Structure 1
Amino acid sequence: MFTRQITDDLSIALVQPSFAKNFYEIVCREREYLSQWLAWPPHANGEAFFESFVERSLHDYADGKSLTCAMVYGGEVVGNVSFNSINHELKKVEIGYWLSQSFQGKGIASSCVQALIDIAFQELVMEKVQIAAATENMPSRKLAERLGFVLEGIITRNENLNGRVVDHAIYGLSRKGE
């Protein structure tokens, strides 16, 4: 199983069936919070939802299409970070992430996203990493900016978040020296 130790108490681990229960527990506690910026929490109505998610994620990983990892802090699953897509032809990945509200402000998401950036450029030899965030999702946007991403543009009316249509800010980071 793919794992990457980031600090003594933080790692990312390829999703596995046993994580479904952890993901579901987070959503049960934080459904309203997570639904602000993610479309799926209202539909996560049991562990089976996440079991199916993990199965799809592992198939896509095996096919080289994505890499979906749990953020593990102090031995506890606290969120998710992924290459939502890996485009080998364009040498580009798109990163997505979500973190339990109760674990925010500790640098967890930033450190995990940085680990994926390193994997993208050093191991997968990608040329570009992209992040899309709702324009009003300032914590996500600030994370991208802190890690050196550049705002490339705004796509209007890009996603329906549970009945609320939002615009997306698209951030890009290119391989250094290119």
Structure 2
Amino acid sequence: MAYKVDSDFFLAIPRPDKDAARLFQLIDMDRVSFRKFLPWVDAIKSYKNEEDFLAKVNINFGKGISLNLVIWYQQEIVGMISFNHLNKLDDSADIGYWLGKNYRRRGLMTKAVKGICNIGFSEYALNRIVIRAAIDNVDSNAVAKKEGFTHEGILRKGEKLLDGYHDENIYSLLQDEWRRMNARET
């Protein structure tokens, strides 16, 4: 599966044997800054760890548990975005994402979030998509706001990071809000 966002930007199901090396390289190049908000990077110590992770998320995709997508920009892998948990009972999902350090602050994650929301609302018939971001994760909070997500509140000490518990902002976008936003764009 590949989802074209625009002429030089698309999201695709990971190919563990082909994509793991580049994804590991992006993680390894910026391990220190990733660790602040993504403690899972410590578990990715080698190309093989990343390849195993990608194989696992593809199994979960097949089971309908999650959807992990590689972000491609100008024919190069630049990061990942995912529905970490697809909740079929509530028709909801929560988004996780990261970009390599050389690709941040260029509007790429905003495009990726828009793309995965389009997939979620149109192909998965989701009613609600959530972004949870540590209060001090300025970039993640900015992405949620820029894409029109509503700030619902703060989950006190809702996220355990390497330096302890952090309060989290909870943002959501509902299908009817997404439809209205898309109607304005056309």
TM-score by length of structure 2 reads 0.91
Residue aligning to 1:22: 22
Instruction: Specify the code of the residue in structure 1 equivalent to 2:20.
Output: A
Structure 1 residues not aligned, in runs of 5+: none
Measured after TM superposition, the shift of residue 111 of structure 1 is: 0.6
36-45 or 157-166, larger mean C-alpha shift: 157-166
Please name the residue that 1:7 is paired with. 6
2:34 maps to a residue whose letter is L
* Aligned CA-pair RMSD: 1.4
Q: Secondary structure at the match of 1:40?
A: helix
The CA deviation at 1:172 is 0.8
Q: Distance in 2 between matches of 1:161 and 1:167?
A: 10
Deviations 1:75-120 (A, max 9, x none): 1111000111111110101111101121112211111110111111
Number of equivalences? 177
2 CA distance for matches of 1:167 and 1:43? 23
How many angstroms apart in 1 are the aligned matches of 2:135 and 2:122? 30
Aligned to 2:159: 159
Structure 1 runs of 4+ with >2 Å offset:
none
Give runs of aligned pairs for residues 23-172 of structure 1, distance below 5 A: 23-172=23-172
- Give the 3-state SS of the residue equivalent to 1:97 in structure 2: strand
What is the identity percentage for the equivalent residue pairs of Structure 1 and Structure 2?
Answer: 27
TM (norm. structure 1) is 0.94
1:44-72 Cα shifts (integer Å, max 9, x gaps): 11011111111110111000111100101
Cα shift readout 1:130-156 (whole Å, capped 9, x = no counterpart): 010111001111110111111112112
- Structure 2: gaps of 5 or more residues: 180-186
* Whole-angstrom CA distance in 1 between matches of 2:158 and 2:22: 30
Query: What secondary structure sits across from 1:24 in the alignment?
Result: helix
SS at match of 1:124: coil
Tell me how far apart the structure 1 counterparts of residues 28 and 123 of structure 2 sit (CA, whole Å): 36
